[in-house]
Amino acid sequence: MVSSIKAVFLFHREEDRIINFEIEFEEWISEQTAYESNPRRRELLGKGLGHGTVEFLRRIWYPAIGNFNDLHAEWEVRDLNNRHRYLDLAYMPADAKGCIEIHGFSSHARDIEAWRFKDLCMKQAMLSLDDWIFLPIAYLSIKEDPSLCKQLVLSFVGKFTSFPASHSLDWTENETIRYARRLLRPFTAKELASHLQRSEKHARRILQQLVDKHWLTVVDDKQRYRTWQLPPHLFL
C-alpha cells in the first residue's frame, strides 16, 4: 500500500515537472524571439530548436537547474575570420561565456564529411581562444546517461556562479560543498586543504563534519587514501 502511494506521488510529481517545463520553455523561447533584433537569429528561433537541444533542456538542464535564466538558444557569435556562428545554447551569467553543443551520432561521428568535421574543430578552437568554456554533449548520453549529464551541467554552471549557501553550514563547509560540485570527481583532504588554504588536519575535520551531516560520502575508506564526494541526490 505504501509503495503504491509513493508510486502515485512520484507519477504526479513527474507530471507536474513536465507541465512546468513546457510552460517555462515556451515562455523562454517567446521572450527571446520577441526581444531579438537580429533577423537571422529570430528566424532560427522561429523554426524551433533541434530535437537534441530540446531533449537536453527537458531531460537534463531543467531538472538539474530548474530555470532558463541566462541561457540563450541559437546564440550568434563571430569567429576570428568574422564569420557568423550559431551556438546551440549559450550560458552567459554576467560577463561569463559558456557554450553547450548537442552532438548527434550520425551527423557528428559516423557519417560526418571531412570538411564538416574540420569546421567543427575550428569552431571549438576559436570559441576556446575567445574565452568560451565549451561543453559538448552527445545525444546518446542524454538518453543513456542522464544522471552523469546532470552532474556535468551542475559542474559547468558552477564554474560561473555560486550555488546558494546552506544556513546550517558555516563558511568552510559551504565552500567545501561548492568545491565538490565544481570538481565532479572524488577529492582528497590535501586537495581541499589547498583550496581552503587550511591545514590538512583542519580539512579532514571539515570533511568528517560534512559526512556526519550527510552532505558528503566517503568513496575510498582506506585511511591513507580516503577520498570524498557529494552523494548522488545532491547532484540531481
Radius of gyration of the chain from Cα atoms? 21
Q: What is the mean pLDDT of the chain?
A: 83
For residue range 177-231, list pLDDT tens digits in order: 888 887 768 899 999 999 998 999 999 999 999 999 999 989 876 666 789 988 8
| pLDDT of 5 over the 50 cut | no
Cell digits for 146?
A: 542522464
Q: Which residues of 54-87 are buried (b: 16+ CB within 10 A; e: fewer)?
A: bbbbbbbbbbbbeebebbbbbbebeeeeeeebeb
pTM: 0.67
Mean pLDDT, residues 20-43: 92
**By CB neighbour count within 10 A (0-12 exposed, 13-18 middle, 19+ buried), where does 33 fall?**
middle
Greatest mean pLDDT among 45-49, 106-110, 217-221, 222-226 lies in: 45-49
Q: Is the pLDDT of residue 106 over 70?
A: no
The residue with greater pLDDT, 159 or 52, is 52
**Above 60 in pLDDT, residue 2?**
no
- Report whether pLDDT(29) > 90: yes
Reading the block at residue 80, the C-alpha cell is 576570428
Interval 114-165: pLDDT, tens: 777 777 788 888 888 888 899 999 999 999 999 889 888 988 887 776 666 6
